[in-house]
Amino acid sequence: MNKMTNMGKLAKSIANLPWWRGATIYQIYPRSFKDSNNDGIGDLKGITEKIEYIASLGVDAIWISPFFTSPMKDFGYDVADFCGIDPMFGTMQDFENLLHKAHDCGLKVIIDQVYSHTSDAHAWFTQSRESKDNPKSDWYVWADPKPDGSPPNNWQSVFHGCSWEWDARRNQYYFHNFLPEQPDLNLHNPEVQNAIIDVAKFWLEKGVDGFRLDALNFGMHDPQLRDNPVNPRPGPRTRPFDYQDKIYSMSHPDIPAFLERLAALINSYEGRFTVAEVGGELALTEMKTFTQGDKRLNTAYGFKFLYAEELTKDLVIQSLNEWNNQGFDEWPSYAFSNHDAPRAISRWAKGRDLGDMARFCAVLLASLRGNIFLYQGEELGLEQADVPFERLVDPEAIKNWPKTLGRDGARTPMIWDDAEDAGFGASNPWLPIDKRHFDKSVAVQEKDKNSILNFTRNILNIRQTNGALLWGDLEIIETKGDVLIICRKYDGDVIHCIFNFGDTEIAAPEVNSFGEILLAVNGANQKIIPALGALIIK
């Protein structure tokens, strides 16, 4: 780990703040990160091989997407054993080795937890579906059909139309918010809650540093099974799911009470961290509810940036104002790209240079007040990969083609070098490698001091070594035209972050004349700020 990153972590220790406050977390999608055994699928040993590289970026932690036992209908988010490692990713010993090496390199390890549903291959569901009176009969959401045999209500799933699947073993329907192979757990049942808390304890005892909680607001349903009303809000509607206001099929008001039970366990382990993924129309309200006070979760993130088709000054201002309380009462997290959304620079460039957009996004993300997430390949400036229809594997993309871009283009293999397999480890990986990515490989960019990779390291080091960027209050002080100026303040330090979201050059604001320029982006200087230019001034 480089000296500047250590200085940043030392500063956080001196400030007596938890390690996660203002942390940069690097997301790893294990299937696509590094293949150690040439089977076309990335694995835990592959991640371990690249831990030093991740540490060199200047991040605080890694978040690893699911590697648990699974039939892989939804590529690991359909869990068949919460405490088992799927053989395609390795063994428990492989995970323990990864954990130890990450800790040796100063990195915390966050793992995904999927508590709203399981795979239909999970032993809990196998028993639950056997009868209406077995010990786990109420561990999932079961309901009788209407008199005409139709489903119990009008609820629609995210992926595949109706949320109800008929099961002849029980002569009942079971509920699924996602794929039919992902039945929803009945988290209203205290026994199910106890089982989930036992899962969390298992991984905490292994030594993980925290959890990213998947699809958390899908965790509880309306026990009365009332019909969802029509969605009154305007917007694109490509699925039956989009036509409903999901007030009964998700977001039940009992979720926070369960989170308090869960957090009580997690917080009994020193230095642990929790972040919730929250989507939907009520995302902001739910994120704040789930993180309210000191008895629930630490932070949450939503999809405002992940699903935004354009990056605008107004979008950023709106997002900042939603969370811009002074102090630490509300602490958000932000991500521009992840495994569930098309890569940000492809959504936002709109014909502009992808490299310029990548640098602009990196600086903007590092300037925000909260925790920030960096998705694998984002530090290289990778664009959304082109995956032909015949190579698609994402069930959502296949079902909704061509209306939904899908997730495969953001999940293609990491580009390590310019070999045929891109250094991934297999010549025929599970998703194809986009030829446009080869020139952006780690090996190529390591040699170029002006590369996006080294630029990313630079801006993360600036963030790590300046408390104003890590923890400071945030004030929006300029919004004329396409200019946005963010002022960050902490313990006497003041940093101004100036951004030009427009397509034309502008004169640099007067604030530019005060202090030291820490970073000039895309040709910006004391006189002018080009399109997609930025300045960080202390």
Tell whether 492 and 454 lie within a shared domain: no
The model's pTM is: 0.95
CB 265 within 8 A of CB 258: no
pLDDT in tens, 193-233: 999 999 999 999 999 999 999 999 999 999 999 999 999 98
Which pLDDT score, from 0 to 100, does residue 3 have? 42
Q: Is 201 exposed, middle or buried (0-12, 13-18, 19+ CB in 10 A)?
A: middle
Q: Where are the strands (E) in 123-177, listed by range?
A: 142-143, 164-167, 172-175
Which pLDDT score, from 0 to 100, does residue 510 have? 77
Q: Please report which confidence band the pLDDT of residue 90 belongs to, taking 50, 70 and 90 as the band edges.
A: very high
pLDDT in tens, 328-345: 889 999 999 999 999 999
Q: Is residue 8 part of a domain?
A: yes
Torsion angles phi and psi, residue 246, rounded to 5: -85, 60
Nearest partner of 92 among 243, 206, 219, judged by Cα = 206
Tell whether 249 and 317 lie within a shared domain: yes
* Percent residues over pLDDT 70 in the chain: 96
CB 229 within 8 A of CB 245: yes
The structure tokens 């371990």 sit at 48
Tell whether 317 and 192 lie within a shared domain: yes
Domain tally for the chain?
Answer: 2
327 has a pLDDT exceeding 80: no
Handedness of CA 52, 454, 334, 183 (dihedral sign): negative
CB 449 within 8 A of CB 455: no
CA distance 381 to 35: 21
Q: Is residue 163 part of a domain?
A: no
Q: Is residue 48 part of a domain?
A: yes
Last residue of a domain, one of 412, 431, 463: 463
How many Cα atoms are found within 13 Å in the side-chain-facing hemisphere of 491? 10
15 has a pLDDT exceeding 80: no
User: 92: which 2 tokens?
Assistant: 């428990």
Can the peptide bond before residue 402 be classed as cis, meaning omega within 30 degrees of 0? yes
Tell whether 454 and 489 lie within a shared domain: no
Tell whether 273 and 390 lie within a shared domain: yes
User: 479: which 2 tokens?
Assistant: 């919004």
326 has a pLDDT exceeding 90: no
Q: Please report which confidence band the pLDDT of residue 2 belongs to, taking 50, 70 and 90 as the band edges.
A: very low
CA 255 to chain centre: 20
Which domain, by its residues, includes 478? 473-537
236 has a pLDDT exceeding 90: no
Cross-strand partners of 320: none
Last residue of a domain, one of 403, 435, 463: 463
Which pLDDT score, from 0 to 100, does residue 159 have? 86
Torsion angles phi and psi, residue 249, rounded to 5: -85, -10
Q: Does residue 82 sit in helix, strand or coil?
A: strand
Q: Is residue 177 part of a domain?
A: no
Examine the residue annotation and report whether 94 is marked as an active-site residue of this protein.
Answer: no
Which pLDDT score, from 0 to 100, does residue 364 have? 98
Which pLDDT score, from 0 to 100, does residue 460 have? 98
Examine the residue annotation and report whether 379 is marked as an active-site residue of this protein.
Answer: no
Q: Which one of the listed residues 181, 214, 383, 408 is annotated catalytic?
A: 214
Mean pLDDT within 3-20: 63
CA distance 248 to 143: 15
Tell whether 366 and 252 lie within a shared domain: yes
Q: Is residue 182 part of a domain?
A: no
Which pLDDT score, from 0 to 100, does residue 512 have? 58
Tell whether 504 and 386 lie within a shared domain: no
Q: Which one of the listed residues 43, 74, 181, 277 is annotated catalytic?
A: 277
Amino acid symbol at 183: P
* Percent residues over pLDDT 90 in the chain: 88
4 has a pLDDT exceeding 70: no
The structure tokens 């299937």 sit at 31
Tell whether 284 and 403 lie within a shared domain: yes
**CATH classification of the domain holding 221:** 3.20.20.80
Q: Is residue 146 part of a domain?
A: no
Q: Please report which confidence band the pLDDT of residue 311 belongs to, taking 50, 70 and 90 as the band edges.
A: very high
Tell whether 102 and 194 lie within a shared domain: yes
Highest mean pLDDT among 47-56, 235-244, 476-485: 47-56
**CATH classification of the domain holding 503:** 2.60.40.1180
Nearest partner of 500 among 535, 465, 476, 473, judged by Cα = 535
Handedness of CA 210, 266, 370, 488 (dihedral sign): negative
Which pLDDT score, from 0 to 100, does residue 356 have? 98
Letter string b/e over residues 144-183, b meaning 16 or more CB atoms within 10 A of that residue's CB: eeeeeeebbbbbbbbbbebbbbebeebebbbbbbbbbbbb
Q: Is residue 166 part of a domain?
A: no
Tell whether 290 and 362 lie within a shared domain: yes
Q: Is 67 left (phi over 0), alpha (psi -120 to 50) or beta?
A: alpha
Mean pLDDT within 67-84: 97
Which pLDDT score, from 0 to 100, does residue 233 have? 86
Which pLDDT score, from 0 to 100, does residue 1 have? 41
pLDDT in tens, 472-487: 999 998 778 999 999 9
Q: Is residue 374 part of a domain?
A: yes
Mean pLDDT within 464-478: 94
Tell whether 365 and 497 lie within a shared domain: no
Q: Please report which confidence band the pLDDT of residue 14 belongs to, taking 50, 70 and 90 as the band edges.
A: low
Q: Does residue 285 sit in helix, strand or coil?
A: helix
Tell whether 363 and 246 lie within a shared domain: yes
265 has a pLDDT exceeding 80: yes
CA distance 416 to 139: 44
Mean pLDDT within 98-110: 98
Last residue of a domain, one of 438, 463, 488: 463
